[in-house]
Protein backbone atom coordinates (compact mmCIF):
# COMPACT_ATOMS: atom_id res chain seq x y z
CA UNK A 1 0.00 0.00 0.00
CA UNK A 2 3.02 2.33 -0.14
CA UNK A 3 2.43 4.93 -2.83
CA UNK A 4 5.76 6.76 -3.06
CA UNK A 5 9.13 5.51 -4.27
CA UNK A 6 8.18 1.85 -4.48
CA UNK A 7 9.03 1.13 -8.12
CA UNK A 8 12.27 3.10 -8.48
CA UNK A 9 14.21 1.84 -11.49
CA UNK A 10 11.61 -0.72 -12.55
CA UNK A 11 11.55 -0.91 -16.34
CA UNK A 12 11.11 -3.29 -19.25
CA UNK A 13 12.10 -2.87 -22.88
CA UNK A 14 9.06 -3.48 -25.07
CA UNK A 15 8.95 -2.97 -28.81
CA UNK A 16 12.22 -1.07 -28.74
CA UNK A 17 11.42 1.43 -25.98
CA UNK A 18 11.88 1.34 -22.23
CA UNK A 19 8.65 1.19 -20.26
CA UNK A 20 9.24 2.81 -16.86
CA UNK A 21 6.85 1.74 -14.10
CA UNK A 22 5.98 3.92 -11.13
CA UNK A 23 3.35 4.32 -8.50
CA UNK A 24 1.68 7.01 -10.59
CA UNK A 25 1.65 5.16 -13.90
CA UNK A 26 3.73 3.93 -16.80
CA UNK A 27 5.86 6.05 -19.12
CA UNK A 28 8.19 5.49 -22.05
CA UNK A 29 9.20 7.16 -25.26
CA UNK A 30 11.49 6.85 -28.23
CA UNK A 31 14.60 8.91 -27.77
CA UNK A 32 16.11 11.42 -30.20
CA UNK A 33 13.90 10.47 -33.12
CA UNK A 34 11.74 12.42 -35.52
CA UNK A 35 8.57 10.53 -36.40
CA UNK A 36 6.38 11.90 -39.18
CA UNK A 37 3.04 10.86 -40.62
CA UNK A 38 2.78 10.56 -44.41
CA UNK A 39 0.21 9.20 -46.82
CA UNK A 40 1.63 5.71 -46.26
CA UNK A 41 2.74 5.90 -42.61
CA UNK A 42 0.28 6.91 -39.90
CA UNK A 43 0.68 8.04 -36.31
CA UNK A 44 -2.08 6.79 -34.06
CA UNK A 45 -2.79 7.68 -30.45
CA UNK A 46 -4.78 5.37 -28.21
CA UNK A 47 -6.10 7.37 -25.27
CA UNK A 48 -8.23 5.40 -22.86
CA UNK A 49 -10.98 7.69 -21.56
CA UNK A 50 -11.09 7.85 -17.76
CA UNK A 51 -8.83 4.82 -17.45
CA UNK A 52 -8.39 4.81 -13.67
CA UNK A 53 -12.04 5.59 -12.83
CA UNK A 54 -13.11 2.99 -15.43
CA UNK A 55 -10.89 0.33 -13.83
CA UNK A 56 -12.55 1.06 -10.49
CA UNK A 57 -16.06 0.86 -11.95
CA UNK A 58 -15.60 -2.22 -14.13
CA UNK A 59 -13.87 -4.16 -11.35
CA UNK A 60 -16.18 -2.88 -8.61
CA UNK A 61 -13.27 -1.40 -6.66
CA UNK A 62 -13.84 1.23 -4.01
CA UNK A 63 -12.13 2.61 -0.95
CA UNK A 64 -12.48 -0.04 1.74
CA UNK A 65 -14.37 2.20 4.17
CA UNK A 66 -16.99 3.26 1.60
CA UNK A 67 -19.98 1.14 0.68
CA UNK A 68 -21.53 0.08 -2.57
CA UNK A 69 -23.19 3.48 -2.92
CA UNK A 70 -19.73 4.86 -3.81
CA UNK A 71 -19.46 2.46 -6.74
CA UNK A 72 -22.95 3.32 -7.98
CA UNK A 73 -22.33 7.07 -7.82
CA UNK A 74 -18.83 6.80 -9.29
CA UNK A 75 -20.17 4.86 -12.25
CA UNK A 76 -22.86 7.50 -12.59
CA UNK A 77 -20.18 10.16 -13.14
CA UNK A 78 -18.76 8.20 -16.07
CA UNK A 79 -22.19 7.53 -17.57
CA UNK A 80 -23.19 11.19 -17.24
CA UNK A 81 -19.88 12.33 -18.76
CA UNK A 82 -20.53 10.28 -21.90
CA UNK A 83 -23.76 12.23 -22.48
CA UNK A 84 -21.79 15.48 -22.97
CA UNK A 85 -19.57 16.30 -25.92
CA UNK A 86 -15.84 16.37 -25.39
CA UNK A 87 -14.67 19.95 -24.91
CA UNK A 88 -17.81 21.12 -23.12
CA UNK A 89 -17.78 22.52 -19.60
CA UNK A 90 -20.06 19.71 -18.47
CA UNK A 91 -17.75 17.01 -19.84
CA UNK A 92 -14.69 18.69 -18.34
CA UNK A 93 -16.28 19.06 -14.91
CA UNK A 94 -17.35 15.41 -14.82
CA UNK A 95 -13.89 14.33 -15.97
CA UNK A 96 -12.39 16.37 -13.15
CA UNK A 97 -14.83 14.87 -10.64
CA UNK A 98 -14.03 11.30 -11.71
CA UNK A 99 -10.26 11.76 -11.96
CA UNK A 100 -10.16 13.92 -8.83
CA UNK A 101 -11.94 11.27 -6.82
CA UNK A 102 -9.35 8.70 -7.88
CA UNK A 103 -6.51 11.16 -7.19
CA UNK A 104 -7.88 11.99 -3.78
CA UNK A 105 -7.76 8.32 -2.85
CA UNK A 106 -4.04 8.97 -2.33
CA UNK A 107 -4.55 12.02 -0.09
CA UNK A 108 -4.69 11.39 3.64
CA UNK A 109 -6.79 14.55 3.91
CA UNK A 110 -9.56 13.18 1.68
CA UNK A 111 -12.67 11.21 2.55
CA UNK A 112 -11.68 8.90 -0.36
CA UNK A 113 -8.25 8.06 1.12
CA UNK A 114 -7.32 4.41 0.66
CA UNK A 115 -3.78 3.70 -0.62
CA UNK A 116 -4.64 0.09 -1.43
CA UNK A 117 -7.48 1.28 -3.69
CA UNK A 118 -5.05 3.75 -5.35
CA UNK A 119 -2.34 1.18 -5.99
CA UNK A 120 -4.73 -1.60 -7.06
CA UNK A 121 -5.96 0.66 -9.84
CA UNK A 122 -2.55 2.07 -10.81
CA UNK A 123 -0.79 -1.29 -11.01
CA UNK A 124 -3.66 -2.92 -12.89
CA UNK A 125 -3.78 0.01 -15.33
CA UNK A 126 -0.09 -0.44 -16.09
CA UNK A 127 -0.47 -4.18 -16.56
CA UNK A 128 -3.47 -3.71 -18.86
CA UNK A 129 -1.55 -1.24 -21.04
CA UNK A 130 1.35 -3.71 -21.17
CA UNK A 131 -1.09 -6.37 -22.36
CA UNK A 132 -2.27 -4.03 -25.11
CA UNK A 133 1.32 -3.25 -26.08
CA UNK A 134 2.13 -6.96 -26.24
CA UNK A 135 -0.90 -7.59 -28.44
CA UNK A 136 0.01 -4.68 -30.75
CA UNK A 137 3.54 -6.03 -31.25
CA UNK A 138 1.95 -8.78 -33.38
CA UNK A 139 1.01 -6.18 -36.03
CA UNK A 140 3.62 -5.87 -38.82
CA UNK A 141 5.26 -2.44 -39.21
CA UNK A 142 3.89 -1.11 -35.88
CA UNK A 143 6.47 0.84 -33.90
CA UNK A 144 5.81 2.42 -30.52
CA UNK A 145 6.46 6.12 -30.15
CA UNK A 146 5.40 6.44 -26.53
CA UNK A 147 3.37 4.94 -23.71
CA UNK A 148 1.89 6.90 -20.84
CA UNK A 149 -0.45 6.42 -17.92
CA UNK A 150 -3.55 6.07 -20.09
CA UNK A 151 -2.46 5.36 -23.64
CA UNK A 152 -0.04 4.39 -26.37
CA UNK A 153 1.10 6.26 -29.49
CA UNK A 154 2.46 4.29 -32.42
CA UNK A 155 3.64 4.61 -36.04
CA UNK A 156 2.20 2.12 -38.53
CA UNK A 157 1.95 1.49 -42.25
CA UNK A 158 -1.52 2.29 -43.57
CA UNK A 159 -2.07 -1.31 -44.76
CA UNK A 160 -1.90 -2.62 -41.18
CA UNK A 161 -4.00 0.02 -39.43
CA UNK A 162 -7.19 -2.11 -39.57
CA UNK A 163 -5.40 -4.96 -37.77
CA UNK A 164 -4.16 -2.62 -35.03
CA UNK A 165 -7.66 -1.18 -34.63
CA UNK A 166 -9.11 -4.71 -34.37
CA UNK A 167 -6.63 -5.55 -31.61
CA UNK A 168 -7.55 -2.38 -29.70
CA UNK A 169 -11.23 -3.31 -29.89
CA UNK A 170 -10.50 -6.82 -28.60
CA UNK A 171 -8.48 -5.31 -25.74
CA UNK A 172 -11.29 -2.88 -24.89
Q: Split the chain (172 residues) into runs of 10 and give each run's mean pLDDT.
A: 75 91 88 93 92 94 95 95 94 95 95 94 93 96 94 97 96 90
Neighbours of 166 (CB within 10 A): 11
For residues 120-144, b (16+ Cβ closer than 10 Å) or e, as one string? bbbbbbbeebbebbeebeebebbbb
Q: What pLDDT is attached to residue 1?
A: 66
Q: What pLDDT is attached to residue 50?
A: 87
Q: What pLDDT is attached to residue 6?
A: 74
Q: What pLDDT is attached to residue 72?
A: 95
Q: What pLDDT is attached to residue 89?
A: 96
CA distances (Å), origin 65, targets 22, 72, 117, 124, 157: 26, 15, 10, 21, 49
Q: What pLDDT is attached to residue 10?
A: 87
DSSP class of 23: S
Q: CA-CA distance, 37 to 20, in Å (whole number)?
A: 26
Q: CA-CA distance, 21 to 149, in Å (whole number)?
A: 9
Neighbours of 63 (CB within 10 A): 20
Amino acid sequence: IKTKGVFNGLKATVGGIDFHFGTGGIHGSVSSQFVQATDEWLIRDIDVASLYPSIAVVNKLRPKHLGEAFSVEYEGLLIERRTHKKGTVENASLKLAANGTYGNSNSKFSVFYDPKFTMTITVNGQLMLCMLAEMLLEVPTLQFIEINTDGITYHIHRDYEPKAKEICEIWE
